Amino acid sequence: MGEMIRFGTTDLTVSRLALGTWVTGGWAWGGSDENEAKQAILKSFELGTNFIDTAPVYGFGKAEEIVGRALREWGREQIVVATKCGLQWDPQKRIRRNSSPERIFEEADGSLKRLGIDRIDLYQIHWPDPEVPFEDSLSALLKLQQQGKIRYFGLSNFSRDQIEECLKTTQIHSMQPPYNLFEREAERDILPFCKEHGIATLAYGGLCRGLLTGKFTGKEQFPKGDLRRQDPKFKPDRFKKYVAAANEIKALAASYGRTTAQFALQWAVQQPGVTCVLSGARTVRHAEDNAGASGFEIARKDLQKIEEILARHINEPVGPGFMSPSK
C-alpha cells in the first residue's frame, strides 16, 4: 500500500501517487486497447492507488468512459475521482478554452454520465480562459457544489497571479501544475504559494514526456504529431544533455533497486509543497512499475547528488537557486 495523505484542507484521504489518464484516452482506441487500459486502472487500484484524475478532453470522452467502467467493476466507495472542465472541441476535434458557466454546467453533467457516478470528488478548471472572468467560472463551481454534483474544486495550469485572483472569490482546494526533475518552474512561486495557503497540489508530467524513464539514447526521431517534436528539450544538442543526466540518475536509482521512472516520481513526492504526483498507466505492467515508486525514500545526500548531476549536464537554472521564498 502506498503512502496516503490528507488532500489539503479537504476531508479526502488520497494516495500520494495518483493515476493520470491522459494516455487512457489518447491511446485506448479499439476494443482490446480499451480493455487493457481498464485493466491498468484496476491493477493500480489493487496496488494501493485510490486517487484517479481524468478529463473530458482526454480522448474526447473516451478516458472518462473507461474510468467509469473500471469504477463499476471495482466499486466507487474507496476511490477519489477528479476530472476537469473548461475546454470545448468542435466536430474536427479542434480544442478551445471555454470556462463559461453554461459550458461548465454542461460538462459536469457529461462527466457524471460518462463516469457513471453521482458526484465528482474534485472538479478542476483545466486551463484559464482569458475570455471569461474567473469569478463567473468559480460561481458556477460553487453552484455545482451546492447542488451536490461536486465535492471540492481546484485549478490546473493557472499562474500564481491567477490563483490569487481566484482566491478573491472563494477558497480553492487544489492546483495542478506541471512539475518534474527537469521542469522545476513550479518551485519558484506555485508550490510555495499553495503550501502557504493550504492549497493541495497534484503535480503532472512527472516523467517529462519520457525523458525520465531512462529509455532514450538521444538519437530518437519523433513522428509528426508527436508533442516532443515541438519541445526544445528534444532538439538534438539539448536532448543528448538530458539523456546524459537521465543516465546518471538511472545509476543512482539502481542503488535503491528502482527504475529511473520510479526514482523520478518519488523525487517529486518528496519535494516541499507537493501533495500528490500523477503518473499514467496504459498497461498492467505500467501500473506495476508505478507502484514501485512508493515504499522508499531518497536520502538527503542523494537528493544533493541529483542537483549536482543536473548542474553538470544541463545549463539551465535548477536546484535551490531556482526557488524563491513565498512572498
Which residues belong to the active site?
A: 58
Name the β-bridge partners of 5.
Answer: 14
Residue-wise DSSP of 104-161: HHHHHHHHHHHHT-S-EEEEEESS--TTS-HHHHHHHHHHHHHTTSEEEEEEES--HH
Gap between the Cα atoms of 108 and 42, Å rounded: 24
Angle between helix axes 134-146 and 160-167 (nearest 10 degrees) is: 60
> How far, rounded to the nearest angstrom, does the alpha carbon of residue 133 sit from its chain's CA centroid?
25
Residue 279 DSSP class? E
From the number of C-beta atoms within 10 Å of its C-beta (0-12, 13-18, 19+), residue 218 rates as: middle
Query: What 3-state DSSP class applies to 120?
Result: strand
Query: What 3-state DSSP class applies to 138?
Result: helix
Residues making up the chain, counted from first to last: 327
Sign for the CA dihedral angle at 66, 69, 74, 79 comes to positive
Gap between the Cα atoms of 98 and 82, Å rounded: 19
Q: Which residue in this structure is represented by grid cell 536520502?
A: 299
Cell triple for 44? 493500480
Cell triple for 25? 484516452
Gap between the Cα atoms of 41 and 24, Å rounded: 9
The residue type at 227: L
